[in-house]
Amino acid sequence: MRTKELRIFVYEYPTLYDLPEADQKLVLAAREASGRAFAPYSRFNVGAALLLENDEVITGNNQENAASPTGLCAERVALFYANATYPDIAVKAMAVTASNSHGLVEGPVKPCGSCRQAMVETEVRYKQPIRIILDGKKKIQVFAGVENLLPFAFKPESLD
Ligand SMILES: [Zn+2]
């Protein structure tokens, strides 16, 4: 038996204004998008903003449905829209935020497993890591790539 140790890097910032300017703009775009979420069941409004290689910013928010599995998370709404609209343009960064009836979550907000898997596919598709910025009232976390959020991910080579 061999034991392997994984190193995961998380960069933490106390407030929005401590982030690099480009990250601040993306978080603000995600917060704005969260205000347009359709979340009448959970009342948990999530917003995601993507920065593409062509400097376009794509936003998404959670879209719930009375038949709950039919809805979709903000991250995948944004990713799939970006992939559908700009199929040849890489995704450089993604900011995610969430608010409940008390406002911005203490957080940082964490993407669900399915969204992490969709992010992995996007990284593989465009052959570059996505910078991920997770918003919260307590602190904001930044990850240099999805491998820090989803180690041992299922990838195309897993099909071999
Ligand atoms: Zn999700």
Boundaries of every domain in the chain: 11-147
147 by Cβ neighbours in 10 Å (0-12 / 13-18 / 19+) ranks as: middle
75 is catalytic: yes
**Distance (Å) from CA 79 to ligand 1 centroid:** 11
127 phi and psi angles, rounded to 5 deg: 55, 40
**Distance (Å) from CA 4 to ligand 1 centroid:** 29
Q: Which CATH class is domain 11-147?
A: alpha beta
Query: Which pLDDT tens digit goes with each residue over 102-119?
Result: 999 999 999 999 999 999
The catalytically annotated residue of 75, 106, 121, 157 is: 75
pTM of the model: 0.96
- Closest C-alpha among 126, 98, 121 to residue 111: 98
- Closest C-alpha among 33, 32, 16 to residue 24: 16
Query: Which pLDDT tens digit goes with each residue over 67-115?
Result: 989 999 999 999 999 999 999 999 999 999 999 999 999 999 999 999 9
Query: Which pLDDT tens digit goes with each residue over 15-55?
Result: 999 999 999 999 999 999 999 999 999 999 999 999 999 99
